[in-house]
Amino acid sequence: MKNLLLAAHKPKNISSNHFLNKLKARVGEKKAGYSGTLDPFASGLLVVGFGQYTRLLPYLQLTPKCYKATLWLGASSPTLDIEGIESVCQIAPFSQTQVLEVLDSLKGEVSYTPPRFSARHINGTRAYKLAREGVEFALETDTMSVYEITLCAYNHPFLSFEVSVSKGAYVRSLGEIIAQKLGVDGVLSALHRISEGSISLLSPTQLLYHIEIDSVCYPFFVLDSQKTLSCPSLWLPKHKHLIANGAKFSLQNTKSGVYKTYFEEFFSIIEVLANKEVRYLYNRIPYADTLEKTR
């Protein structure tokens, strides 16, 4: 089994699942998963785990998420993106001051309704599936944090901006809010994910590979699994043999929380509980309840 963490560049006009299947074939490993879906029309960073490293995805620091988006003012689409355009209205241009005021008003906590064509679950079914079938349903209002939002360019009717948001945020919904505040319809004509947490496609310390799709080469990088983990390090040289054999033990002088602990030949993710006992979250021999059982 190939255990890898990758930072991959997903091209536009391909679903995240379709792209993952192509990566599986390129890497030669069937077990794989990714951290956050990118819509088919969107491109950019997709963090992918292979083999046992799929279990590391929940322990990666993947916020804030940074995107560059282009909003098409005057266009209307139920999907809130360029894939479902129903109409385009010619509208008068706005002043740059108006645009900047709207963007600035969105910093902080923003209340929004997720797109009907989204991966949200409605009674166990994806919202986009219900929307495609014409089923009537309502999505609950949610909130997202907008940490930074800046204007990149405004060439009417196209407004490009860069935004840093919290996990689970929908930039399509943010584009809809911007258009509504300007008093018009609007859809995203382009969306590119730049980074998730400290992971991007621009790091010079990563190994570079390529995958070819439709005669175009797209890069992916192998990440250092230990350095990428978000949990703090806990050095336990005296417990090395216990961790290596998956034995139970406790840590009396350690705060409760999730930690990574690693040595030359292996690493583990552990959780120190309130009673100071240790629970293994990653890299524990499944049958090893005590050190004696592993001998």
**Residues labelled as active-site residues:** 39
Backbone region of residue 108 per phi and psi (left: phi > 0; alpha: psi in -120 to 50; beta: other values): left
| Cβ-contact 223, 56 below 8 angstroms | no
| Residue labelled with tokens 């108006």 | 98
Give CA–CA dist 2/48, Å, rounded.
13
| Residue labelled with tokens 């046992």 | 52
End-to-end CA distance of the chain: 26
Under DSSP, the state recorded for 246 is T
Q: List, in sequence order, every residue forming a beta bridge with 45; answer none if it has no partner.
A: 9
| Residue labelled with tokens 């050095």 | 235
Q: How many CA atoms lie within 13 A of 102 on its CB side?
A: 20
| Residue labelled with tokens 């310390």 | 205
Residues 6+ apart with CB under 8 A from 214: none
Q: How many CA atoms lie within 13 A of 213 on its CB side?
A: 21
DSSP conformation letters of 88-122: E---PPPPHHHHHHHHHHTSEEEEE---SSSS-EE
| Cβ-contact 195, 45 below 8 angstroms | yes
